[in-house]
Structure 1
Amino acid sequence: MNDLSRRAESDATTRARTIGREEESDLGADRLLVDVANYVCGYEIKSRDAVKTCRFAILDFIACALRGSCDPSCAKLLGPIVPGMSVTIGAHVPGTEYYVDPVTAAFNSTTCARWLDYGDAFYGAEWTHPSDVIGAVLSVSEYVSRLRNERGLSVLSMRDVIVATIKAYEIVGVLALENSFNQIGVDHGVLTKAAVAAVTTSMLGGGRLEVMYATSQAFIDGSGLRCFRHYPCAGTRKGWAAGDAAARGVSLALMTMRGEMGYLCALSAPVWGFNDVFYRRQDIVLKRDFGEFIMENVVFKPSFPSEIHAQTAIEASFRLHPQIIHRVDEIHSIAVHTTRSAVRCIDKTGPLSGPADRDHCLQYAVAVALLYGNMTSDHYEDSVASDPRVDELRRKILIAENPQYSADYVDPDRRSCANSVQVHFKDRTSTNKFEVEYPIGHRRRRMDAFPALEKKFISSLHKKFPPERAGFIFERVTDAQVFDALTPMDFMELFNATPHPVLLPPMRAAPGVFDYTPIDNRASTLGLRLTDGNSARAVEAEAVQQA
């Protein structure tokens, strides 16, 4: 680039920033953009509960991604957008050999994790999957760390990833509490996109203004339809829609950090703004300040994959399985009481087009759980769906809303997701009504959830890696002190399908839960300082040979 081009680019960047500041001071930036920027750039994470839960959330994301990468229908979407392309500084996709740019890595990782609908969820007026942001956070953190490492600067730690993840969860969830995009027929992907754009801009070095710019661009993109999640259009796009939103958020962050301007009235602009165009001329409501609430209250799916509103119905059906399995031919009807949101989202009758349609059908979930007493991703495949008993039971299931369940669903002190199931037989007898108020991944059942999440994680590792390597990974990342001290580079290397040898630094003596020291990027994972011309891997190999 010649001097004239550099000067022109610099002048354009300066003008963009000046215009942005004038808009902020003269016209006033949208309150939401200001609140997001203040939170991302200035809020200090203090909740020990949120930090602990976030570690589980990240590992659960990896578990889901490893499982998803094994599915052929998911695997065909992975890799660089243009086959054969490669990058020097990029990010890994868990469970694969792919090393791609951070935008593509965000798409790949998030798509793998969402494919089997086994990840966490949060529900309010809108239904969301906060873990959709983790693929972007991990990809950008690895990319930034590798870039800084090349320049001789200190790199990030997984503790930095935890902080960024908590903040991204909070943005997604707080916006979902009071704003129902599903009521107007558009998808919640805009929440993922906005949260990713905000947090990754900060990770890339942006300040308040840059965070506002990137977030405004996410809302200008708007939101797509959600027809692909519902009959008659339900299909596999719901497996990669989150990846698409996450990748777009990273792309907007990178564009902003190259000097692209933002639009600080993007939501409130009359006629042309987000609120008027996408939200029926209503303002997006924030009734809760950003903090750590969402991470503390996120709902995991540690035991079986399904849409979140079906989790308690499946659990209730498991309990009924021993009572009905020998009397299937005698069943007259099955009464299921649920929430208004479940009726709206997953009450489906008629033909189901495939796994993507089945895992969002309450009747299918209940029928399979009653018949098999178990639920895995395989139960959504044709081999199980072709069992004639499944459709026979589906036709006998009667779904009804329980107003109390719906009220408790939105009650901030309860946030339940209740279902009850009762089976009635032809001889006019019936089972007891089994009611489950809180899914196993709910905050009120964390003592059940955390061990189940660990079991899910190690099971996912064994699906992808040999036993010795699976045990090696599990031992290290489930130790909080080691987890926090890892660099994103070394963390992601653990899950590479063809990894380099990974050696962890020695344990420090009993530090406090919030005490950590970022690892100097000029040292290898053995703590050895690098010299010119030597790579970290070469130094480590030499040290191992000497040992």
Structure 2
Amino acid sequence: MALEAEELKLDPLIGELADYICAPPPNSEIALDAAHLTVMDTLGCGLGALGDPDCRKRLGPLIPGTIVPNGAQIPGTPHKLDPVQAAFANATMNRWLDYNESYFGKEGGHPSDNIGAVFAVCDYISRVNRSKGEAPLKMRDLIHAGLMTHEVHGGLANENSYLDHGLDHELMIRVSSAGVTCRLFGGNRNHIIAAITNAFADGGTLRLYRQPPTTGTRKCWAAGDAASRGVRLAMLAIQGEDAYPTVLSAPKYGFIERRWGGDPFTLREPPSDKIIQNNVIKVWPTEGHAQSALEAAILLHPEVKEKIDDIKQIAIRSHAYTMKQVDRTGPLRNEADRDHCIQYIVAIGLLQGRLTYEDYSDDRAADPRIDALRDITTVTVDDSFTNDYYDLNVNSDANALQVHFKDGSSTDDIVVNFPLGHKNRRTDGGIDRIGEKFRENIAIGLTHHQQAFLLPLFNDRSALETMDVDTFMDTLAG
């Protein structure tokens, strides 16, 4: 039987998250515009991933042929799944190409990984409601829920480095998805506390599948795993599952002592609507901290493309978190390794002036010029970049790139302080490129008729918000 709130001596952080989730969602136009853009971009990333058979085979029901009453529709596919498995499928699609947005505090991550759970639960609830003669949820409800998962997720990232503790950042997904979908299911504060504390009680998964030399494809579906687990915990909480009020602070067996080395685990400030307004929409399929480095390489491509054999050194300056995350030397074993290697990404940008997900394939990686360029690439920390990365008033994600030639000449030192998808550059070609990315992605997963339905909604939040969630999702069925 679930413990009542008055019986709980809650860890303050748990209470703060629960109070935020229980409160009316943020309603500023700026925040809702940002949430609308993020939801649409994330949906597009999932549809783009349907072009990869390795992604498609991980979707669908656990047991082939399973029929689920009121099942949630998986975009671009024929699958209608229970909300737990639908969350896995949606979030796996959205994350597969490493193309969905990023947010950076002391931990990097992708708050939009939660949107797969939000789509699954909103669709399922809408179908259940309709079957009972009740009103389905609107897409505005979905956008609000997506916004709230961003704030919980980003809040847990701001002051807490999971990388430094050997844990994957999927924990933030599990907590955020559990809490917000519990509210969608009709949960009260006690239910939400139970969902969140059970998510923390799971501990954290090991980071090894995201870090060399053990990087593997699990990093492509870890978000799906966490989102689906969050939904499962939300459903258990609704059924009366116990809460664990001191899950963080309990001596000997609590999260902070057993998984966090006794270090502080905090929120920088109360959740609001700041995270969604400060995320970075990716414009190329790379790890987030490599976006500005790739842009610099693309800018230098016209100057170096005929002089590749004459390059003596490629010098990258970056911030400290980039060094931890994507500075990789030696053999790269697979696509998951390559899309987290800044040297590989810069080499592709210099060689061809663009990058697509296919550039991480074994066939593309066999080009001997790529490893030759990697071998002469140096990556060093620029302290000013690190300071500005962690400064909330700056919020940069800078890289600098300069190419030195054997004859002693060099290119200019190209500094990109903010990636093209950063909020500071939305009017600097950023929003145009995000729209182009959306068109490219949905063309992979949808028919021409479906594209014609979806494309206008990318720029029309008011039209999207009035739609019933289940009707919207049925229109995207494959």
Displacement, 1:477? Answer: 5.0
1:21 aligns with 2:21: no
Which structure is richer in relative contact order (CA contacts within 8 A, separation 6 or more)?
Answer: 2
SS in 2 for 1:422: strand
Amino acid corresponding to residue 36 of structure 1 in structure 2: L
Displacement, 1:380? Answer: 0.9
| In structure 2, C-alpha distance between the alignment counterparts of 1:181 and 1:282, rounded to whole Å | 11
Aligned to 2:381: 401
Displacement, 1:308? Answer: 0.6
Aligned to 2:472: 491
1:109 aligns with 2:104: no
- C-alpha offsets along residues 195-233 of structure 1, whole Å, 9 cap, x if unaligned? 000000000000111111100000000101010111111
| In structure 1, C-alpha distance between the alignment counterparts of 2:213 and 2:59, rounded to whole Å | 27
Structure 2 vs 1, CA of residues 458 and 201 (structure 1 numbering), >3 Å: closer, same or farther?
same
Amino acid corresponding to residue 452 of structure 2 in structure 1: G
Amino acid corresponding to residue 67 of structure 1 in structure 2: G
Displacement, 1:90? Answer: 1.5
SS in 1 for 2:4: helix
Equivalenced residue count is: 477
SS in 2 for 1:332: strand
- C-alpha offsets along residues 305-338 of structure 1, whole Å, 9 cap, x if unaligned? 1001100000000111111111111111111000
- C-alpha offsets along residues 174-197 of structure 1, whole Å, 9 cap, x if unaligned? 110000111011111111000000
| In structure 1, C-alpha distance between the alignment counterparts of 2:335 and 2:119, rounded to whole Å | 28
Aligned to 1:358: 338
Match of 1:220 among 201, 210, 221: 201
Amino acid corresponding to residue 373 of structure 2 in structure 1: L
Aligned to 1:470: 451
| In structure 1, C-alpha distance between the alignment counterparts of 2:196 and 2:385, rounded to whole Å | 35
Aligned to 1:290: 271
Aligned to 1:304: 284
> Which range is displaced more, 223-232 or 450-459?
450-459
Aligned to 1:444: 424
Displacement, 1:484? Answer: 0.4
| In structure 2, C-alpha distance between the alignment counterparts of 1:351 and 1:44, rounded to whole Å | 47
Aligned to 2:26: 45
1:417 aligns with 2:397: yes
Amino acid corresponding to residue 299 of structure 1 in structure 2: V
Aligned to 1:349: 329
Unaligned runs of 5+ in 2: none
Match of 1:166 among 138, 147, 150: 147
Displacement, 1:53? Answer: 1.0
- C-alpha offsets along residues 229-281 of structure 1, whole Å, 9 cap, x if unaligned? 11111110000000000000000000111111211111111111111111111
Displacement, 1:395? Answer: 0.3
| In structure 1, C-alpha distance between the alignment counterparts of 2:440 and 2:229, rounded to whole Å | 31
Displacement, 1:95? Answer: 1.4
Aligned to 2:256: 275
Amino acid corresponding to residue 21 of structure 1 in structure 2: A
Displacement, 1:48? Answer: 1.1
Displacement, 1:476? Answer: 4.1
Aligned to 1:380: 360
Match of 1:67 among 38, 43, 48: 48
Displacement, 1:469? Answer: 3.2
| In structure 2, C-alpha distance between the alignment counterparts of 1:86 and 1:119, rounded to whole Å | 30
SS in 2 for 1:421: strand
Amino acid corresponding to residue 422 of structure 1 in structure 2: Q
Displacement, 1:140? Answer: 0.2
| In structure 1, C-alpha distance between the alignment counterparts of 2:423 and 2:446, rounded to whole Å | 31
| In structure 2, C-alpha distance between the alignment counterparts of 1:465 and 1:268, rounded to whole Å | 48
2:168 touches 2:206 (CA, 8 Å); kept in 1?
A: yes
Aligned to 2:231: 250
Match of 1:331 among 307, 311, 317: 311
Displacement, 1:459? Answer: 1.7
| In structure 1, C-alpha distance between the alignment counterparts of 2:443 and 2:6, rounded to whole Å | 56
Aligned to 2:300: 320
Displacement, 1:492? Answer: 1.3
Amino acid corresponding to residue 374 of structure 1 in structure 2: R
| In structure 2, C-alpha distance between the alignment counterparts of 1:233 and 1:423, rounded to whole Å | 30
| In structure 2, C-alpha distance between the alignment counterparts of 1:469 and 1:67, rounded to whole Å | 14
| In structure 1, C-alpha distance between the alignment counterparts of 2:338 and 2:385, rounded to whole Å | 24
Displacement, 1:450? Answer: 2.3
Displacement, 1:381? Answer: 1.1
SS in 2 for 1:269: coil
1:207 aligns with 2:188: yes
2:286 touches 2:345 (CA, 8 Å); kept in 1?
A: yes
2:305 touches 2:350 (CA, 8 Å); kept in 1?
A: yes
Structure 1 stretches of at least 4 aligned residues deviating more than 4 Å after TM superposition: none
Amino acid corresponding to residue 243 of structure 1 in structure 2: G
Match of 2:111 among 105, 130, 134: 130
Displacement, 1:145? Answer: 0.9
- C-alpha offsets along residues 471-526 of structure 1, whole Å, 9 cap, x if unaligned? 232124532221000111012122211xxxxxxxxxxxxxxxxxxxxxxxxxxxxx
SS in 1 for 2:401: strand
| In structure 1, C-alpha distance between the alignment counterparts of 2:4 and 2:10, rounded to whole Å | 9
2:174 touches 2:227 (CA, 8 Å); kept in 1?
A: yes
Aligned residues: CA RMSD? 1.2
Structure 2 vs 1, CA of residues 450 and 289 (structure 1 numbering), >3 Å: closer, same or farther?
same
Amino acid corresponding to residue 46 of structure 1 in structure 2: N
Aligned to 2:320: 340
Unaligned runs of 5+ in 1: 1-15, 498-547
1:268 touches 1:283 (CA, 8 Å); kept in 2?
A: no
Aligned to 2:125: 144
Displacement, 1:67? Answer: 1.2
Amino acid corresponding to residue 457 of structure 1 in structure 2: F
Displacement, 1:150? Answer: 1.1
Match of 2:351 among 371, 378, 382: 371
Structure 2 vs 1, CA of residues 346 and 423 (structure 1 numbering), >3 Å: closer, same or farther?
same
